[in-house]
Amino acid sequence: MIGVPFRVVPSRIEETPRPGEAPRRFVRRAAREKGEEVASRYPAAHVLSADTIVVAGGRILGKPGDRDEAMGMLSLLQGRWHFVHTAVCLLRQESGYTDELCETSRVRFRTLTREEIAGYLRTGESDDKAGAYAAQGAGNLLIDRIAGSFTNVVGLPMTQTLAMLQSAGLLAVSRRGPGWYRLAGGKR
């Protein structure tokens, strides 16, 4: 969306909350640990990492293990409000640079029938998504209202991430070409 080149490097971090760990504390730790692990392999690079969780009734809803678990999650979410927390971490190991943020949005699902939930599950979108839905896809049809950032619900709060990249001196407004932004001063 920003229009600058990047490379996806999956981390090797297990995304599991510790016993008694608060949701926002967990998501911040997960994003930071994922970034630190990737930065240990690329110490000269700026690494942007993120983690997103869905929280309903104080319970973290991670990625469902199977369709039955996804059915349970969506049944829990339907007709009520829940929270989506996304933590973002920008770091560069070589210089010791670190910046973090955690964005929260409230999402309300409309009331759904069991058949609607089963139909959505057949799309396959829920298989690898926190809370068993993808707001950027057909899962958008489950949502009645969003209070906060839509891109946060998708998994990366773009306005806040853009500000983080600009604050780090990594982005400049492009004066020519098709992109709106460009990498500043040859940074990567």
Enzyme catalytic residues: 51
Go through 129-167 and write b for each residue having 16 or more CB atoms within 10 A of its CB, e for each that does not.
bbbbbbbeebbeebbeebeebbbbbbbbbeebbeebbee
Closest CA to 39 of 50, 48, 29: 48
Distance CA 53, CA 131 (A): 7
Cβ burial, residue 174 (10 Å; 0-12/13-18/19+): middle
Query: Which amino acid is it at 107?
Result: V
Tokens 């599991």 label which residue?
A: 16
Element (H, E) at 143: strand 143-147
Its sign, for the CA torsion 34, 36, 37, 39, is: positive
